Amino acid sequence: MKVSEANTPGRTPSGSTGGNRPAAELEQALGLAFRDRGLLRKALTHRSCVNETGGTDIDSYERLEFLGDVVVRLIVSEELYHRLPKCDEGGLTRRWTALLSQRALAVVARRLDIAPYLRLGRGFESTGGRDSEAVLGDVMESLIAAVYLDAGPDAARRFVTAALGPEINDACQPDWRPDNPKAELQELLQAQGKPTPTYRVVSATGPAHQPQFTVEALVNGDSLGSGHGQSKSAAETEAARVALMSIRQLAPRQSR
C-alpha cells in the first residue's frame, strides 16, 4: 500500500451522504492505496451485512478490530512515551485511556467521514447503526489493522499519528486535562469526604445489536444523576457527567 502525501486523513470527498459507498472512494479520501482492497472492504463490513448475505462472522470486521485494538494501543503508547519524557506513569495512563476510549475513536471516525462507507445490513441500518458510537469506534480499529496488514507497521504508524494527530497533540500539552467524568466525579466526592460513587443499570432496551442502557450514579444510595448510552460504560460516563453538573450547580446555592 502506498500512502499519498497529497491526501491525509481528514480530507473527505464532497457530498458524503447516504450509505454503503464504494470503499475505493474512502481509500482515495484517506490518501491510501491498498494492494489488497479486500482488506479494506472487510474492515468496513459489519456482521449485520454478513448475516444478510449468507456469510459468517469471520467475514465481518471483528477479527480486524481485535488486531487493530492492539496495534493502535502500541502506537499511541510509544507516541506518548517519546513525546512526554517527563510525564510519570499515571499521567501517561490517563492520556492513553482518554485517547483510546470508544468515544474518542468514534470522534476520529466521524472526522474522517467513515460512516457513509460502512457496509451494514438493512435492519441494522434502519435502527441508526451507521451513527453508532460503538460501531464507529470498532471500525476505526479494524481500519488501522487493515493498513497494518496491507502495508506494515510503519504505514500503520503514519496513518494513526495522522488520523489521531489533533487528539495526540492536545494530550501532549502541559495543561491537558482528561475528559473523564467518572474519575472527576470520584475525585470531587472524595474531596467532600464522601464515598466512591456506584453505578446501577436502571434499564436495558433495544435490540441485541443496538442496545440502549440507562444507568444511575449513586452515593450512599442517593441518585446524583442518570445517563444513557449504547454500552454500560458509555451510560455510566454520561451519568457521571450529569452528576458533576448537578453538584456544581448546587454548590453556589449552598455557599450563600
Interacting residues of 56 by C-beta distance below 8 A, sequence separation 6+: 50
- Distances 164 to 63, 76, 186 between C-alpha atoms, Å: 22, 9, 28
Count CB neighbours of 109 within 10 A.
Answer: 22
- What are the angstrom distances between the C-alpha of 72 and each of 67, 96, 163? 9, 10, 11
Among 27, 113, 141, 236, the active-site one is 141
Query: C-alpha cell of 90?
Result: 499515571
In order of 31, 32, 218, the CA distances from 112 in angstroms are 11, 13, 37
Q: Is 141 one of the catalytic residues?
A: yes
**What is the spatial distance between Cα 4 and Cα 134, in angstroms, rounded to a whole number?**
29
Catalytic residue among 69, 138, 150, 236: 69
Contact 215, 117 (CB under 8 A): no
Residue 36 known to be catalytic? no
Tell me which residues are annotated as active site. 69, 141
